[in-house]
Amino acid sequence: MRRIFGMTLFFAAAMMISLMAQEQIKTPQPSPLATITQQIGVMEVKVEYSRPGVKDRKIFGDLVPFNELWRTGANATTKFTFSDDVMIEGILVPAGDYGLYTIPGEEEWTIIFNKNLGWGTNRYDEKDDVARFTVKPVKHSGNVETFTIGFSNIRDNWAYVDLSWENTIVQFKIEFDVDSKVMAQIERIMANPERNLANLYYNAADYYYKNDKDLKQALAWVDKAIQMRSDAFWMVRLKSLIQAKTGDYKNAIKTAEQSKALAQKAGNQQYVKMNEDAIAEWKSKK
């Protein structure tokens, strides 16, 4: 009986210790963690960083000294993850994870991508830099309370990375070789499509049209798509655009009329207007 009582006390104590270990008090963090993922074309960039606030302090030249290495955020080093090889301000950086470091200056900032990730600048070693370049900071009249990393001017294969805090914005360009990756997919899939899907032909034709590839091939693919989806007014419109791009305005107008009629039937006034505008433009050129 005494042994059973002792075991009961032991398990009760163990359970109490376990519950105490699990119990935590969550309070607001002074520099909350943030994660941003941005798709650029068919590539992806992920940023993980902590976001300190101004909090009535002078930031650059005081809290963040000029001409000294900065972790570019707070707590752990800011981490960039690139899904594919990337050009950062003209410097080739292989796909992978990198720490972002900066050296702020009054007239010029040094931007550094480094192989090391850690807490602050304690693991930084210049020999592990994969990219180092300088950019000019821009002053603005507003006040960015919380340190922010964002993306702007996003295109199919490039974008700007913006670092904003207090009254300063620093910007640099990243670029991906989207075209070779998309072309490899198109060549592989269209050489022997596993499934005869209209969208496969339409997407391939659309990419060729938008990127000034072989328009004869684009026309053949969009015709194939339309054969499978004769009611798809957006596919018929693409055919008209390809025809116009080749200078065949007479047939482009005919095809646009077909797209307009299909769009009217489907109740899509946006495509009706786009076709009307295109027809008016091509008639003037014809």
**Domain ends where: 128, 157, 175?**
175
Residue 275, pLDDT score = 97
* CA pair distance 128, 154, nearest whole angstrom: 29
Indicate whether 152 and 265 sit together in one domain: no
Q: Which residues of the chain have pLDDT under 50?
A: 1-2, 4-6, 9, 19
Judgement on whether residues 154 and 201 belong to the same structural domain of the protein: no
| pTM for the full predicted model | 0.77
- Same domain? For 125 and 183 the reply is no
Closest CA to 242 of 206, 271, 201, 284: 206
Pair of tokens at residue 266? 């489907």
Task: State which of 119, 150, 175 marks the end of a domain.
Answer: 175
Give the residue from 100, 172, 161 showing the smallest Cα distance to 136: 172
Q: Is residue 65 part of a domain?
A: yes
Residues 157 and 253 in one domain: no
Of 126, 145, 175, the domain-final residue: 175
Q: State residue 281's pLDDT score.
A: 95
Q: Is residue 195 part of a domain?
A: yes
Domain-embedded: residue 20? no
Examine the domain organization and report whether 246 and 263 are in the same domain.
yes
4 belongs to a structural domain: no
CATH code, domain carrying 216: 1.25.40.10
Q: Are residues 37 and 170 in the same domain?
A: yes
37 in the same domain as 168: yes
Q: Are residues 200 and 166 in the same domain?
A: no
Look at residue 18 in the predicted model and tell me its pLDDT: 55
In the prediction, which pLDDT does 30 show?
A: 61
- Provide Rg for the chain, Cα atoms: 29
167-220 pLDDT per residue, tens: 999 999 999 999 999 999 999 988 876 676 899 999 999 999 999 999 999 999
Domain of 208, in residue numbers: 178-285
Tell whether 114 and 165 lie within a shared domain: yes
In 3D, which of 157, 274, 244 has the Cα closest to residue 222? 244
Indicate the SS3 state at residue 282: helix
What pLDDT, on a 0 to 100 scale, did the predictor assign at position 22? 57
In a domain, 10, yes or no: no
Return the pLDDT at 6. 47
Domains: count for the chain: 2
